[in-house]
Structure 1
Amino acid sequence: MTKPAATAAVVVMLLALVGCGPRQPASSPTSPVSQTPPNEVSSLQIPAARIDYAMSKVDGLVNELMKDTGIPGMAVAIVRGGNTVYAKGFGIRDVSRGDGPDNRVDADTVFQLASVSKSVGATVVAHEVSANVVTWDTPVASKLPWFALNDTYVTGHVTIGDLYAHRSGLPDHAGDALEDLGYDRQQVLRRLRLLPLAPFRISYAYTNFGVTAAASAVAAAAGKSWEDLSDEVLYRPLGMASTSSRFADFLARPNHAVNHIRVGDKWVARFQRDPDAQTPAGGVSSSINDMARWLTMVLANGVYHGQRIASPEALLPAITPQVISAAARSPKARAGFYGYGFNVSVNAAGRTQYGHSGGFAMGAATNFAVLPSEDIGIIALTNAAPYGAPETLTAQFLDLLQYGQVREDWASLYRQQLAPLNDAQGSLVGKPPPVSPLPARPLGDYVGVYANDYWGPATVTEHDGRLQLSLGPKNQLFDLTHWDGDTFTFTLSTENAPPGTISTATFAGNTLNLEYFDADKLGTFTR
Structure 2
Amino acid sequence: MTTRPSRIHRGPVVLAAVAVLALAAAGCTDTATSSSAVPTSGTRSLLPQPPGPTARLGEQQVDTAVGQLDSIVQDAMSRTGVPGVAVAVVYRDQVVYSKGFGVREVGKPDAVDPDTVFQVASVSKPVASTIVAGVVGRKTIAWDDPVIKYNPSFSLRDPFVTANASFADLMSHRSGLYTGAGDLLEDLGFDQDYILPRLNQQPLDAFRASYNYSNFGYTEGGVAAADAAKQSWDALAQDTLFGPLGMTSSSYEHSVYESRPNKALIHVREDGANGATWQAKYLRDADAEAPAGGLSSSVRDMAQFIRLQLGAGKFGGTQVIDPAALQETHIPHQDLHTPQQPGARTQFYGLGWNVSYDDQGRLRLDHSGAFALGAATNVALLPVEQLGIVTFTNGYPIGVPEAVNNAFFDAAQNGRPTVDWLGFYGKALAASEEQPPNPYDTAPAHPKPPQALTAYTGTYDSPYYGPLTVAEGNGKLQITMGPPEKPTTFPLTAYDGDTFTFASIGENATGTSGAIFKPGPDGRIDGVTLTFYDQRGLGTFTRGA
TM-score (norm: length of structure 2): 0.86
Is 1:196 equivalent to 2:208 in the alignment? no
Is 1:282 equivalent to 2:293 in the alignment? yes
* Residue 327 of structure 1: how far off its partner (Å): 1.8
CA distance 1:425–1:280, shift in 2 (3 Å): farther
**Partners of 1:307 and 1:463 in 2: how far apart?**
65
* Residue 254 of structure 1: how far off its partner (Å): 0.5
Give me the CA root mean square deviation. Answer: 1.7
Query: Deviations 1:136-172 (Å, cap 9, x if unpaired)?
Result: 1121111111110001111010011100000000011
**Partners of 1:382 and 1:283 in 2: how far apart?**
16
CA distance 1:521–1:380, shift in 2 (3 Å): same
Query: Deviations 1:427-485 (Å, cap 9, x if unpaired)?
Result: 236x4322321111111111222221111122211111101011111321000001112
Aligned residue runs from structure 1 range 21-420, under 5 A: 39-41=51-53, 45-97=56-108, 99=109, 103-264=110-271, 265-419=276-430
- Give the secondary-structure state (helix, strand or coil) at the position aligned to 1:504: strand
Query: Deviations 1:323-365 (Å, cap 9, x if unpaired)?
Result: 0011222343212100001111112332210010001111111
* Residue 105 of structure 1: how far off its partner (Å): 0.4
* Residue 420 of structure 1: how far off its partner (Å): 5.7
**Range that drifts further, 452-461 or 287-296:** 452-461
- Give the secondary-structure state (helix, strand or coil) at the position aligned to 1:296: helix
- Give the secondary-structure state (helix, strand or coil) at the position aligned to 2:462: coil
Instruction: Tell me which amino acid in the other structure corresponds to 2:73.
Output: V
CA distance 1:491–1:424, shift in 2 (3 Å): farther
Cα pair 1:424 1:502 within 8 Å, conserved: no
* Residue 424 of structure 1: how far off its partner (Å): 7.7
* Residue 525 of structure 1: how far off its partner (Å): 1.8
Instruction: Tell me which amino acid in the other structure corresponds to 1:158.
Output: A
CA distance 1:295–1:455, shift in 2 (3 Å): same
Cα pair 1:426 1:516 within 8 Å, conserved: no
**Partners of 1:262 and 1:59 in 2: how far apart?**
23
**Partners of 1:155 and 1:191 in 2: how far apart?**
13
**Partners of 1:508 and 1:391 in 2: how far apart?**
47
**Partners of 2:433 and 2:396 in 1: how far apart?**
8
* Residue 289 of structure 1: how far off its partner (Å): 0.6
Is 1:506 equivalent to 2:516 in the alignment? yes
Of the three residues 444, 462, 465, the one matched with 1:434 is: 444
Query: Deviations 1:170-227 (Å, cap 9, x if unpaired)?
Result: 0112101101111110110000000111111001100111111011111011111000
Cα pair 1:426 1:502 within 8 Å, conserved: no
Query: Deviations 1:386-444 (Å, cap 9, x if unpaired)?
Result: 11100010011111112223232221221133236667898236x43223211111111
**Partners of 2:161 and 2:306 in 1: how far apart?**
34
- Give the secondary-structure state (helix, strand or coil) at the position aligned to 1:457: strand
Cα pair 2:137 2:325 within 8 Å, conserved: yes
* Residue 321 of structure 1: how far off its partner (Å): 0.6
Alignment gaps of 5+ in structure 2: 1-48, 520-525
Of the three residues 451, 455, 474, the one matched with 2:461 is: 451
Instruction: Tell me which amino acid in the other structure corresponds to 1:69.
Output: T
Is 1:523 equivalent to 2:534 in the alignment? no
* Residue 81 of structure 1: how far off its partner (Å): 0.5
* Residue 247 of structure 1: how far off its partner (Å): 0.7
* Residue 305 of structure 1: how far off its partner (Å): 0.9
| Larger Rg belongs to | 1
Cα pair 2:56 2:385 within 8 Å, conserved: no
Instruction: Tell me which amino acid in the other structure corresponds to 2:375.
Output: A
Cα pair 2:187 2:506 within 8 Å, conserved: yes
Q: Which residue of 2 aligns with 1:469?
A: 479
Q: Which residue of 1 aligns with 2:490?
A: 478
Query: Deviations 1:478-521 (Å, cap 9, x if unpaired)?
Result: 000011122111002311216xx111111121221111111112
TM-score (norm: length of structure 1): 0.89
Q: Which has the higher contact order (CA 8 A, sep 6+)?
A: 2
The percent of aligned pairs where both chains have the same amino acid is: 43
- Give the secondary-structure state (helix, strand or coil) at the position aligned to 2:378: strand
- Give the secondary-structure state (helix, strand or coil) at the position aligned to 2:79: helix
Of the three residues 490, 493, 515, the one matched with 2:502 is: 490
**Partners of 2:371 and 2:414 in 1: how far apart?**
32
- Give the secondary-structure state (helix, strand or coil) at the position aligned to 2:64: helix
**Partners of 2:359 and 2:280 in 1: how far apart?**
38
Query: Deviations 1:307-335 (Å, cap 9, x if unpaired)?
Result: 11111110111011100011222343212
**Partners of 1:121 and 1:227 in 2: how far apart?**
10
- Give the secondary-structure state (helix, strand or coil) at the position aligned to 2:85: strand
**Partners of 2:126 and 2:83 in 1: how far apart?**
25
Query: Deviations 1:271-320 (Å, cap 9, x if unpaired)?
Result: 12111111111111111111000100010000011111111110111011
Q: Which residue of 2 aligns with 1:7?
A: none
Instruction: Tell me which amino acid in the other structure corresponds to 1:342.
Output: W
- Give the secondary-structure state (helix, strand or coil) at the position aligned to 1:460: strand
**Partners of 1:65 and 1:131 in 2: how far apart?**
43
CA distance 1:339–1:272, shift in 2 (3 Å): same
Instruction: Tell me which amino acid in the other structure corresponds to 2:70.
Output: D
Alignment gaps of 5+ in structure 1: 1-36
